[in-house]
Structure 1
Amino acid sequence: MGMWSSGGGLSLTLVHKYDRRKDFHGYPIVGVGVNVFQFFSTYLPSGDLTGYIGDIVSSLKRTHNFSLSYNVLEGYAYGKLVNASENRWTGMVGALQSRKADLTVSELSITKERNDVISYTQPLYIVSRKLFVATQEDFTKQLLAYAAPMDKILLVCVFVNMAALALILYTIEWLRIRLLPMEEEPPVSLSLASWYMMSALLQQGCNTCPSSIASRSIYWLGFFLSVIVYTSYSATLVSHLTVEKPVTLPFSNLQQLSRISGWDAGCNNNDLFQVTSTQTCQGSVSEECRVLQRVWERVVMRRPGNIVSSYQQGIHKVLTEKYVFIGVDVATNYYIRDLPLKDACRVKELPGSYLKGGVAIGLQHHSPFRGIFDFSIQRIRETGLMNRLVQEWLSADRLCQMNTTNFASLADVAVIFMLLMVGAFLSGLCILLLLLIDYALRISDYDKLPFCKDLRLEANIEMGNMALLKLELSQMLEESDRSED
């Protein structure tokens, strides 16, 4: 563009062609959208749009002065191939393909298959599918929390060492009695030596203690050993109860997930993961497609309920079941952020990204608006407005590390009450066993008394038990014959 004047001649004005053509003078543009992620597109009663994509579309509308009307499709209608069709699409992609709409007012993932039938603006955000799982509460680990600080080998070594010290103590006392017979102290038996070392291990005294210097040295050594064991145990127990250790999962990616049993996985109905696994990857030999198809066939299709109707339902299954939710990273984190802090921090995002790609505004194939919209979007990006929109709508950070204080729960100390109950049961069992033994001894001593036989004989006569009567009489006669002899 330029202007001519008689004095200055031709003067050129450097104005970009898209700046010259930016005013559409109220041209009517028809949009199509879905009501899935409100942070991407929210439809106001006034007909205006908000959200990350909604604000960008509204900015384009103001910049280029066009009128906008839109139709909101029901469900997860982003677009997939019609059954038994190679080039006919449903959803927003189908509306653009059939020229019923000029652009999408919602986000649309960029894929090679869709790019054959529609066009896109430049990418507005990069998304990917992630694996989301919840840390399962390991009650066995909690019940064994007081045994966890010490390795099994260490426990065995401690008891073997105390047994060895008891044996050494007994040996020293045995040698003392035989080599120094003048000493008047009573000898120490092996059981008493074991009791000494057990009291040393439990940091308790006893009513009798070794008297010789050699024996006391072994006894003091047992106390010193117990101090070291108690100190290391206490320090490790404190760290074990206060520091949260990561839960070990039997898988860390999709490929490992496809090979295990016991875990279910799924995605939102008609998600790009489903479309790619069931349609796009058909006949493909790429490694990514093979992994996606294996997961879909072996894990997702294992149960009908693995495909959910919303992200909220998928996150609920993650928290309540052994379930892996395959969802868009930013969308899943957005809904996790609204959970209570305890539940939100239980949900973990595994490393690894799948179906990574951009989302953009969809346009008709070879749309005349593509160049001028890309020009305006680039200016939005350069002015920093897009970063502000990302912070406003797509920031879903979870501050799970703020709460660093852990509190002991009933499950953490339940083993103490279980041990008390086991001890009480064993004590009662021992008492019952002693009573039975005492009763048996009394019966045995009672039968040996002479008058007891006469009492049993009279009882058998009164009851008319002739068989027992004959047996008793025969035994009495045999005893009397032996006494005469």
Structure 2
Amino acid sequence: MRPNPPTTEWDGMIKELLEQRADLAIADLTITFDREQVVDFTMPFMNLGISVLYRKPVKQPPNLFSFLSPLSLDVWIYMATAYLGVSVLLFILARFTPYEWENPHPCQSDPPFLENSFTLLNSLWFTIGSLMQQGCDIAPKAVSTRMVAGMWWFFTLIMISSYTANLAAFLTVERMDSPIESAEDLAKQTKIKYGALRGGSTAAFFRDSNFSTYQRMWSFMESTRPSVFTASNIEGVERVVKGKGSYAFLMESTSIEYVIERNCELTQVGGMLDSKGYGIAMPPNSPFRTAISGAVLKLQEEGKLHILKTRWWKEKRGGGSCRDETSKSSSTANELGLANVGGVFVVLMGGMGVACVIAVCEFVWKSRKVAVEERKQQLY
């Protein structure tokens, strides 16, 4: 349905019309400038554009430490820094203010020394207890230290609430990893091959485009070997399916919509690259053009064309099967497996192990200290 390159002859349905062997050509026949020069078209009965057909993105396997995903690495680093900074500030202010020093012996009015509950370790323990919303057995008494504690509690309230709100989504929603999101992404890489129907309007669009991105894509398609062009749309769809993510097919959006309603492995990537329409072709100066254009306009105004498209795209001949699968999967809550929350168990076991090591070190240190003191007592 295009002029053969060496000559100005047409083939396919356009040739049938030019040779007066047909009165009408009704198909997914795109209205183009070249075709409009040799045949007449009715007004478009369906609007469309060029888009990308590609395999659906692969589901990412659950991450062992998915519970860390609700917050970015920067936020985790800032939180750790804030925790240490607030703990040190609380320790310094508690040392500076006189209202945090207490009499260890209330019965003595003039004790030889005073005690301060907010040692560095206790300050660290107080702030981590607040962060984990567990509280602590010590509390600030001075206004300055209470101000630090109040601001820290406000900070932890917001952060914990934000973390909890995002945690469920990150643990239950399946992540998709798609290497391309648009035709521009295709043009920027060479790993994924892409092509179109040989001699069709889609190929002509890239061939005649003045846009640098589409010119680069056309040069890539022409130079790639083996050829990325196909003899039919069906062949292009099969190459996408068999390519396992290594091939994308550029075709008209209406055809893509029809395919992805029946093949759940495929999807449309990005939006439309242009805007055009399907029309009914007739020989030049056909007497039927005005009447058929009026009928098409009436069907559009009454919404009957939309009803017909919905029926044959999404209901008949296997249409809607992928939509049914999507609704079933979305209505079923995903249970959490060990792969989703296993990192929490790892952290728990790691913490228990570190606690045991610290306990052994404390025991050894205290034993050596007691042994040294007993040796000194024996000497004196």
Instruction: Please say whether Structure 1 and Structure 2 have the same fold, judged by a TM-score greater than 0.5.
Output: yes
CA deviation digits over 1:186-244, x for unaligned, max 9?
765423431232222112356xx336634984667655543332123323445777899
From the CA coordinates, give the structure whose radius of gyration is larger: 1
- Normalising by structure 2, we get a TM-score of 0.64
- CA offsets per residue over residues 418-442 of structure 1, 9 Å max, x none? 343365468669979999xx9xxxx
What is the correspondence of 1:75-474 to structure 2 with a 5 Å cutoff?
A: 79-82=1-4, 85-97=6-18, 101=22, 103-116=24-37, 118-125=38-45, 126-132=47-53, 136-137=57-58, 139=60, 146-171=67-92, 174=95, 182-184=103-105, 189-205=119-135, 209-210=137-138, 213-214=141-142, 217=146, 222-237=152-167, 252-253=182-183, 257-275=186-204, 277=206, 281=208, 287-288=210-211, 291-298=213-220, 302=224, 304=226, 306-308=228-230, 309-311=232-234, 314=237, 317=240, 320-321=244-245, 323-340=247-264, 347-348=267-268, 350-354=270-274, 356-363=276-283, 366=284, 370-381=285-296, 383-384=298-299, 390-395=305-310, 396=313, 407-408=333-334, 410=336, 414=339, 416-421=341-346, 424=349
Q: How many residues align?
A: 338
Match of 1:58 in 2: none
Summarize the Cα distance change of 1:252–1:372 in structure 2 as closer, same or farther, 3 Å threshold: same
Report the CA distance shift for 1:143/1:92 in structure 2 as closer, same or farther (over 3 A).
Answer: farther
Percent identical = 17
Q: Is 1:128–1:354's contact at 8 Å kept on the other side of the alignment?
A: yes
Q: Would the alpha carbon gap of residues 427 and 362 (structure 1) be closer, same or farther in structure 2, given more than 3 Å must change?
A: farther
1:331 Cα deviation after fit: 2.0
Runs of 5+ unmatched residues, structure 2: 106-114, 315-319, 364-380
| Cα 1:315–1:236 shift into 2, 3 Å | farther
Q: Deviations over 1:310-356 (max 9, x none)?
A: 3585388379526543211222212222345xx67xx3453343372
Deviation at 1:377, TM superposition (A): 0.9
| Contact 1:82–1:90 (Cα < 8 Å) also in 2 | yes
What one-letter code is carried by the residue in structure 2 that aligns with 1:417?
Answer: G
Given that residues 54 and 249 in structure 2 are in contact (C-alpha distance below 8 angstroms), is that contact kept between their aligned partners in structure 1? yes
Deviation digits for residues 127-185 of structure 1, max 9, x if unmatched? 43223456635738977764454355543443333223322343355568999574255
Aligned-residue offset at 1:295: 1.0
The 3 A distance-change label for structure 1 pair 195 and 394 is same
Q: Spell out, residue by residue over 1:456-480, the C-alpha distance to the aligned partner (whole angstroms, 9 max, x if none).
A: xxxxxxxxxxxxxxxxxxxxxxxxx
Q: CA deviation at 1:417?
A: 0.7
Query: TM-score if structure 1 supplies the norm length?
Result: 0.53
CA, structure 1 residues 407+301, in 2 after alignment: closer, same or farther (shift >3 Å)? farther
Stretches of structure 1 lacking an aligned partner (at least 5 in a row): 1-78, 439-485
- 3-state SS of paired residue (1:354): coil
Pick closer, same or farther for the CA change 1:271–1:238 going to 2, 3 Å.
Answer: same
CA pair 409-264 structure 1, distance change in 2 beyond 3 A: farther
Q: Distance in 1 between matches of 2:36 and 2:119?
A: 90
Partners of 2:139 and 2:253 in 1: how far apart?
73
Find the aligned partners of 1:300 and 1:416 in 2 and give their Cα distance: 49
The 1:200/1:128 distance shift into structure 2, 3 A limit, reads closer
Report the AA paired with residue 286 of structure 2: G
